[in-house]
Amino acid sequence: MTSSGRQRLTGPALRLTVVIGEQDTWHHKPLYSEIVHRAHAAGLAGASVFRGIEGFGASSVVHTSRLLSLSEDLPVAVIIVDTEERVRAFLPRLEELLNEGEGLVVLDECEIVGRHDPAAPSAEGKRST
């Protein structure tokens, strides 16, 4: 257990990756932000958003950061990792957000081999700051 009371996550896990467009929205807010906030509210271990520099999807239009006229809707990946049970329980909340065919959802089995816990003592017995 960590000092926050959460069990430290190691071992088998499931990685959920949602690939969407940067301009995709949910009730006038960025869709990636809504996914992260719902994952947080669901108590998942963590979520990160990564902005792509180039990509294409179902539309077959290549979006790239190299040309200003095409850089308005770059690909965004939201990555969430937690136990399989918790990730699968989150899927219905995610489906509500992707109801118009937006995005690509991918599940991968993975293994968490280590996770830095800022509240844990460092090798010298001190807490990291």
For residues 77 and 48, give the distance between their C-alpha atoms in angstroms, rounded to a whole number.
Answer: 8
| Number of C-beta neighbours around residue 32 at 10 A | 24
Per-residue pLDDT tens over the stretch 49-60: 999 888 777 666
Q: Which residues are 26's β-sheet partners?
A: 29
Does residue 100 sit in helix, strand or coil? coil
Instruction: Provide mean pLDDT across the span 92-115.
Output: 87
Residue type at 127 in one-letter notation:
R
pLDDT for the residue numbered 41: 96
Confidence tier at 48 by pLDDT (50, 70, 90)? very high
